[in-house]
Structure 1
Amino acid sequence: MTTILVIEDEKAIHRNLLKLLNAEGFETLSADNGKIGVKLAQTKQPDLIICDILMPGLDGYGVLHILQQDSSTATIPFIFLTAKTKQADMRQGMTLGADDYVTKPFTRAQILSAIAARLQKVKLRQQQSIINPNLPNRRLLQKRFNQLEKPGNQGKLQIFLLSLEIEQLNQLNNTLGLAIGDQLLQAVVERLHRQLGQQDAIAQIGSDHFIILLSRSYHKPESIQIVETLLKAFDLPFQVDSHKIFLSAYIGIAILGRDGRDLDTLIRHASVAREEAKQPGNRRYQFYIASIGAKSQEAFELEIQMRQALERQEFQLYYQPKVNLLTGQIEGAEALVRWNHPQRGIISPVEFIPLAEKTGLIVPLGEWVLRQACHQARVWQDQGIYPLRIAVNLSPRQFNQSNLTNFVVDILHETGLNPHYLELELTESTLVQNPESAIATLQTFKALGIRISIDDFGTGYSALSQLKKFPFDVLKIDRSFVCQLTEDSRDEAITTAILQMARSLKLKVVAEGVETLSQLNFLKGHQCDEIQGYWFSPPLSAEAFADLLSTGKKFPLLSS
């Protein structure tokens, strides 16, 4: 009999839903809050989960995130049940891994149709796994683990479990479609198998998450060599149909015995280490240590608070002026998000943006930023302030959403902002993941009149021959070069070369992070077009920015 877990805090809806499901012959499990729901899902392993979003304590998004991180529950079909009907809310749930979304009030036919569709998809997946036995499966992983963990099998060597994530795999499925996505997945699996032994077990426990159990014991240096070989295998692109696709891989490593005795614990700890590997400045692989686990718990608590912050409107936009170096006039502003936490005060974007990117919260947060920035730009125009171009950053997850162009057009229409006054900033790492698709998207934006900027230029590793294909209007010099501009001859040489290259490509140049008069004079002397930074103004609230504009403040154009 099919078992369905219902997680719902509204008693009337909960009671009626259980009655409906029981009448249809389903076995039901019941939870009236997120924490109980997670425990039931992990212990009872239902065939499908229906979960409300807005619940006290652990909300539906938090429930889904926990279950997605647990290999035993990651593949259970998950249907959100909620009164929230905004597209951004639906996209957030889907980004996190939800299978469907049913809005309240719902009819009997609607809920049963959603359930039937999810169960049918599971059946097709099971059939496919039988048809194609080369695809990873968790049953093989568990069987192999049971053999390896028996006493006496390890000797003086160690058994290693690897948690491997391929960052763009899920995004590309959404962007390129399931057919191309399946081919890409097969290509990934085949490449992994070529780097491993025949008895090494692999399981796919998420859309972009694999677990690898090495089939025999190794010394630690040997395991590192295997890990580095796996990562090196992703240096070359995957050719699927007419697409040349670049993927990035990260690996976390847990050791049997030292980091856990059961498979689920090892997977959880290896996955925590993998998240540490994704942090800037770290190697692309990390071994698990207990201190990483403590830091992971802190990040999880912050993630729950961030989900609530979106609903409680704790985020604010600040605006940093962009100033023309020829006229001294403020020509635009970059919209920068800040989190005003009720207990901790202002939380730095350095802390919460990477977490939002990792969890998928960057999608609804980014959509809020874009809508709010466009609305504010139009408000200033309606107040009689001369039109300014507003710049908004697009994250990799946002940019790879299949309906991005329609969404941007909808926001422009909704806010009444002329596309000419919107600038979208993207990093080069965002664009080179799938260059052909990126170019097509950018050309659509250009045709609308939206200006395109490449942000943090010079910090990536892309070939200029590749970047020149993109239809940019603006190039932003990263602050890491500007901060030591007059103190480090290498930064001067790099900045000078970027400015010369930009002029030859007929691109405008903006230098960010300008904090001293000497930096300003260098950039002005080398014909930089615009600057932004604390030397002129820090990021300001919308009200303070309007006050700044009303004063008519201009840049002092002469050196002193």
Structure 2
Amino acid sequence: MGVKIVIAEDETDIRNNLRMLLGMEGFTVFAAPNGKEALELVRLHQPDMVLSDVMMPQMTGHALLQAIREDPALAPTPVVLLTARADRNDVRDGMNLGADDYLTKPFQREELLTCIRAQMVKAQSQQLAAKRAVAQAQHLALFDRVTDLPNRTQCQDLLQQALRAQNVEGQGLVLAIVGLDNLSTLTHALGAAETDGFISSLAERICAEAAQEPLSRGGVCTVARLGDDRFAILIPQWPNAEALQALALQLLSHLSRPLQSMDAEHFPVISVGICSQFTASDTPQSSLARLELALEAARTKIAQRIAIHDASSLPDVSTTFRMHNDLHRAVERNEIVAYFQPQVLASSGRIQGFESLMRWN
């Protein structure tokens, strides 16, 4: 079935002439003598366009137009109003209600066909724009706006697949995280737009690094942007668990090289964390949490800002968190007592120093 058009016209001769003319042009036509019946046809057939007289019994063209615009399923339908009156107020009322065009009777065949073609082109353009907007929204839901890399949500989906493959095939999954520690300084120095460009350049460098030795030995790596100042690298089949320190050092060295921005070189301050030895109980969320802990550990280093977390690191991490929480409660409950002990020379009885001790009771 071709382009469908609903006609609402109370004058029988005009209605029949329009039906015949448009039918000869290849359109599929449904006609009604008033707005009420036309609205039923519109709801039934979901036409590509509506041609409606303004002055009709039971329901006017303006009322029909308003009903169409108030129905979310019908609202995008192009509506052209036909009238024997050239009254400006009539035209303005129709346009205010959302009419797409207006034809004053009597009109010529070519005038009508030109109007219909224009509305079809307009409708197709709007539909295409709407599809592009939906596609863009779907893309932005999974990919980072600045770098076009997978975002955290998409990274979790990809990580779920990688964890499943490791559990089934016994692959040695390794995750690396790259932190840009001087992002705030760069933003103040370069401005938001230039900083986005800097981050894009850094992302390209990380992707290039992931595509070559030694990372490429681990299969096709995936780079994702986890947040404003951090990137993840998923290495699905890392062959050598003993070489993670060397891998971290290489990433730190290569990614710390200066990048060009605003006709000047700017050095990224990089930290690298690496996690390995994932088990069947690991989830994407817990794995990324481990990765974030590795990055925070790397950022505390003074010289080589790297940290390696394997399965043996987990008890230490949980113990640290438990100790942190318990200390907060101990202070609130006055469970910590300070002891002062002077150091006295036995020969003279003079105090030469002291020791201080905090005891947790």
For normalisation by structure 2, the TM-score amounts to 0.44
Give 1 or 2 for the bigger CA radius of gyration.
2
For normalisation by structure 1, the TM-score amounts to 0.29
